[in-house]
């Protein structure tokens, strides 16, 4: 059984699949630190602040974003609107004494600049990946393509977390074709709050312990 890495990138198969919720659940389950390098749109209520508000433990630290962009769009476009360019040399990884969760922006092939993608950032950070897949029609294709892209670049895929209840046999067929570790399923939230996150964290931690030393 392998040790769970200290640097984990929370990637999504697309935008809006629940990376922030899964990040909150993992931060609660692992008492891990959290960092989102690039925030686009809604600077009043960022993903960092949302995650912070959902966490009950007093161990997790939340590091400031390297880029805070006002436009709710692809990061490359939001940066251009503000006469900026997202470059890896400005993305200094926080010095965390414990495990660090890094939340991505959108899907893996979302451009951060004209010649730099989110998946390039993962490679640059030398992070392992937990992939978030939301159960919906089309998620099989999106998830298989995402895992294929990660494998082609030699990126360590720890497994997949499915957000929402199973849709037909999505979860089973994804595991069949990818042989990727199933790390758990996040329930549909009637109300997204700290209690919901704590319940999901206990469930997810139990699954993680079957595959990793924490």
Catalytic residue list contains 36: yes
Q: Catalytic residue, from 36, 123, 151, 205: name it.
A: 36
Positive or negative: CA dihedral 180, 30, 48, 126:
negative
Tokens read off for 33: 């630190």
Residues 141/124/50/81 CA torsion (nearest 10 deg): -90
Q: Give catalytic residue positions.
A: 36
């Amino acid at each position: 059984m392998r040790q769970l890495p200290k640097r984990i990138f929370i990637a999504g198969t697309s935008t809006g699949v629940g990376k922030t919720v899964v990040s909150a659940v993992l931060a609660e389950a692992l008492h891990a630190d959290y960092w989102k390098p690039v925030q686009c749109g809604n600077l009043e209520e960022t993903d960092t602040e949302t995650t912070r508000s959902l966490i009950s433990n007093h161990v997790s630290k939340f590091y400031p974003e390297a880029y805070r962009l006002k436009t709710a769009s692809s990061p490359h476009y939001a940066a251009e609107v503000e006469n900026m360019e997202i470059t890896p040399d400005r993305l200094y990884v926080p010095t965390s004494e414990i495990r660090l969760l890094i939340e991505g922006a959108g899907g893996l092939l979302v451009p951060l600049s004209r010649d730099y993608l989110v998946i390039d950032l993962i490679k640059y950070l030398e992070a392992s990946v937990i992939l978030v897949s939301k159960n919906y029609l089309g998620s099989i294709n999106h998830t298989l393509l995402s895992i294929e892209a990660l494998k082609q670049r030699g990126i360590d895929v720890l497994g997949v977390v499915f957000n929402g209840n199973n849709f037909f046999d999505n979860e089973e067929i994804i595991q069949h074709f990818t042989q990727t570790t199933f790390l758990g399923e996040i329930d549909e939230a009637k109300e997204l709050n700290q209690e919901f996150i704590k319940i999901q964290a206990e469930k997810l931690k139990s699954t993680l312990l079957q595959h990793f030393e924490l």
